[in-house]
Amino acid sequence: GCFVFKPSAKKRKLSQRTAHEFGIRNDDSEDTELRFVTCQSLWNQIKSETEKIQEDLNKQLLDNLVSFLRRSHSEFEEKTTEWICRMKVREIPTAALVLGVNVTDHDLTFRSLSDFLQNNITPYIALLEAKDCPGIKNLMQKLMGQLMNCCVDVDSLEDEDYVQVSQNRIRCSMSSLIKWYESVTKKTDSETPSKRSSSSTHWQSPPVVVIFKDMESFTTKVLQDFVVISSQHIHELPLVLIFGIATSPMIIHRLLPHSVSSLLCIELFQSLSCKDHLSTIIDKLLLTTQFPFKLGEKVLQVLINIFLYHDFSVQNFIKGFQLCIVEHFYSQPLSVLCCQLVDLQKRVNSLSHNQCENIRRLPSFRRYVEKQESGKQIALLTSDNFLKEETQRLLEELHVYHENYVSVLRCLHVFTSSLPKYPLGKQIRELHCACLENQVWETEEYESSLQLARMLNKSDLVTMLQQCVEILLSSSGKEFDQTVEKLKKFLTQFQNLEEAFQEQDGSVSSQKELQKKTDLYHLQKTLLELKESRRSKKLTKFEMLRFEVVDYIDSLVRKYLVPADHRTLHEILYFNTAAVLRGHLNAAPRTALHTALNNPHWYLKNQALKCDGGSISNKAPDICIVYKLHLECGRLINLVDWLEAFSTVVMAGEEPNADRASSDQMDDIIHARFIRAVSELELLGFIKPSKQKTDHVARLTWGGC
């Protein structure tokens, strides 16, 4: 298989040392070894799970591509009608693969694609990237290098002569490529049958697949030349092109003129949208009871925001998730209890006294203790054994809570996702965030969505209830037997209603009565009565039932969708320090630079540097002083004035009555310091020398950043 993450492979190699570091840096905490092992095994599980998900998601696309490849040169093989063959222009079969703008994910897709093709269609695959191919010459070199090497991989018996060819690299032309292809295919033909059977998935003359990873970045000339050259040899070399496109297929027309694109036979393939991909990942990784580790609301929000606002990259999302896991196990000593239920008892029992103290320090636990009666409070705070028992019970409860939470969340999503305007969000992730954030039933959105749910029509309501029943039945929670019963009862009631409905059509009678009355006074009276009765009209049976259903769902929500941070001991399973994550994933270099220069105390932690407000301390590093002074200037800065201001600041603390010679020397030193600080600023990109005025420099930034 393919590895999703290179860093993890490296980590495994260094695991001994890393485990050591895990311990050293948190020397006051416990169970580092165990925590590290748990973290690793959890991550490995998650990694294999994500790989599986990705494979499933790509399956459709890969299958389509493979059938396209099979088709593409089948004509070449079977020769349909001679006349058609003779007359038609042989176009190069081309797959335009639209992959979306999340370029960071493409690598993985291409890797699995080339693996898949290698196993199913052809051993001859070349992956080309624009940065390697500034000219047609480089492209051909790269192409031939990859093709001839891959051949070496396939039949390693007779690789000497190939290696020689690729090393000599005498002629990087199409004709030598064709010669190579002929020799290779001939060789496979003449091989013994036993050898053939091993590679029987490939055909007699497998196509040569050339993948352009990033179509947008290739220059037009290179692409055009390559297409023109290869179209001339399509008869001898069954070539298939795959264009990886990040934006839209229009780019083909923009890059290739009609005379060139008419040489191609382009078919379009679209990969799954990255948003759907993310939904699946969240569904399978977060909304499941498979993994004990959970994300808190803020953290999840940070990860989703980075995805939606910045990069659309599922890979980055998963990496962020990995960071959360590592950070959780690293920073939370109690995360040793973040394990599968089977291991829980053993681990709880082996907790040290320190760890017990850690538990007592948890805010959620303290809240819990306060609610208990005094005798139990004392026991919890003094007896480690009692605490351990209690902890285990609470953690088991937490697991059960999570199981129920997921099922009920899905049920609620069934309702909210069909409401007009989606007051609680269309995706389940939005609903999940809302529920984690605070008690969802107190929000306005929830209120309005209940209102809307009370106006649903019957058929929708029935299908939703059926879906809910299915979800609850498939869930692993044990508490839902009653709920399912109740929902089924609702369903049968709806069924009965339908039968009753047909009989009940009595409301027309009053209308008929109305027509009989001719007296004006009576008419008025009856009309008023009618109006009155309509206002306070008794609800029909269906409406009653609908209210009942919605109220029942509401009660389920109130019971099961309590936010996680209201639960005791949630800190053990839920990672919620979003600030750390934001600092790691959403770096702000400009802001950091500004803080460092404007307020050096922030980083240097030197008491002398602590200053208040806008004043400039002369203790600060020179560059900070210069930076602060330059903030007050306009676009062009006069160097002389700047130096003047600088020396004033620096000299502020010095005694003024020094003798002349030493002050001269001082001036020189200050001058040198100033020049050095200014050139440092230039290096950082804040200023540049200006040609507009002598002795002036231009500012390149504006504002306080």
Partner 1 sequence: MPNLEHPAYPAAALLHLESLVPCRESQVSMLLSIFGERQQFSFPSIFIYGHTSSGKTYVMQTLLNTLQLPHVFVNCVECFTSRLLLEEILIQLQSCSSETEPASPVPCDTFNDFVRLFKQALVSRKLQDQTLYIVLDRAEQLREMEANILPAFLRLQELTDSNVTVVLLSEIVWELFRPNVGCFDPLTLYFPDYSIGHLQKILSQNHPPEYTADFYAAYINILLGVFYMVCRDLKELRHLAVLNFSKYCEPVVRGEANERDTRKLWKNIEPHLKKAMQTVYLREISSSQWERLQHDDGEPGQLKGLSAHTHVELPYYSKFLLIAAYLASYNPVRTDKRFFLKHHGKIKKTNFMKKHEKTSNHLLGPKPFPLDRLLAILYSIVDNRVAPSANIFSQITSLVTLQLLSMVGQNDQLEGPRYKCTVSLDFIRAIAR
Site for partner 1 in 656-685 (CB under 8 A): 685
H-helix or E-strand spanning residue 681: helix 660-684
Q: Quick one: 240 or 435, whose CB is closer to partner 1?
A: 240
Q: Quick one: 22 or 269, whose CB is closer to partner 1?
A: 269
If binding is defined by CB under 8 A, does position 183 make contact with partner 1?
no
Rounded-to-integer distance, Cα 155 and Cα 190, Å: 13
Q: What b/e string do you get for 484-521 counting C-beta neighbours within 10 Å, with b at 16 or more?
A: bebbeebbebbeebeeeeeeeeeeeeeeeeeeeeeeee
Q: Quick one: 461 or 637, whose CB is closer to partner 1?
A: 637
CA-based R_g, the chain, Å: 36
Q: Which of 228, 527, 608, 658 binds partner 1 (CB under 8 A)?
A: 228
For residues 149-178, which are near partner 1 according to CB under 8 A? 170-175
Eight-state DSSP code of residue 211: E
Q: Quick one: 473 or 636, whose CB is closer to partner 1?
A: 636
Q: Quick one: 221 or 454, whose CB is closer to partner 1?
A: 221
Ramachandran category for residue 208: left, alpha or beta (phi over 0 → left; psi -120 to 50 → alpha): beta
Q: Which of 60, 476, 533, 586 binds partner 1 (CB under 8 A)?
A: 586
Residue 379 to residues 337, 390, 497, 569: CA-CA distances in angstroms?
Answer: 21, 10, 57, 18
For residues 42-61, which are near partner 1 according to CB under 8 A? none
Other Cβ atoms less than 10 A from the Cβ of 82: the count is 8
Total residues at the site for partner 1 (CB under 8 A)?
74
Q: Quick one: 174 or 380, whose CB is closer to partner 1?
A: 174
Please choose, out of 187-195, 241-249, 322-330, 660-668, the segment that lies near partner 1 by the rule CB under 8 A.
Answer: 241-249
Q: Which of 167, 232, 350, 510 binds partner 1 (CB under 8 A)?
A: 232
Other Cβ atoms less than 10 A from the Cβ of 649: the count is 19
If binding is defined by CB under 8 A, does position 308 make contact with partner 1?
yes
Please choose, out of 182-190, 389-397, 587-595, 605-613, the segment that lies near partner 1 by the rule CB under 8 A.
Answer: 587-595
For residues 485-524, which are near partner 1 according to CB under 8 A? none
Rounded-to-integer distance, Cα 265 and Cα 69, Å: 12
> Which residue in 56, 75, 113, 102 sits closest to 269, CA to CA?
113
For residues 198-217, which are near partner 1 according to CB under 8 A? 214, 216-217
Please choose, out of 117-125, 199-207, 308-316, 462-470, the segment that lies near partner 1 by the rule CB under 8 A.
Answer: 308-316
For residues 245-304, which are near partner 1 according to CB under 8 A? 246-253, 258-259, 261-262, 264-268, 270, 273-275
Q: Quick one: 243 or 405, whose CB is closer to partner 1?
A: 243
For residues 558-577, which are near partner 1 according to CB under 8 A? none
User: Could you tell me the maximum CA-CA distance found in the chain, to the nearest angstrom?
Assistant: 123
For residues 369-388, which are near partner 1 according to CB under 8 A? none
If binding is defined by CB under 8 A, does position 311 make contact with partner 1?
yes
Rounded-to-integer distance, Cα 667 and Cα 580, Å: 45
> Which residue in 5, 3, 2, 37 sits closest to 19, CA to CA?
37
Q: Quick one: 214 or 297, whose CB is closer to partner 1?
A: 214
Q: Quick one: 267 or 554, whose CB is closer to partner 1?
A: 267
Q: Which of 523, 587, 636, 640 binds partner 1 (CB under 8 A)?
A: 587
Q: Which of 590, 671, 676, 693 binds partner 1 (CB under 8 A)?
A: 590
The token duo for 384 is: 């480690």
> Which residue in 425, 405, 402 sits closest to 415, CA to CA?
425
For residues 61-100, which are near partner 1 according to CB under 8 A? 71-72, 81, 83-84, 86-89, 91, 93-94, 96, 98, 100
H-helix or E-strand spanning residue 175: helix 174-190
Q: How many residues does the chain have?
A: 705
Rounded-to-integer distance, Cα 62 and Cα 57, Å: 10
What strand order describes the sheet that includes 92-98? 125-128, 208-212, 239-245, 92-98, 264-270
For residues 94-133, which are near partner 1 according to CB under 8 A? 94, 96, 98, 100-101, 103
Q: Which residues contact 609 (CB under 8 A, 6 or more apart)?
A: 600, 601, 617, 619, 620
| 3-state secondary structure at position 636 | strand
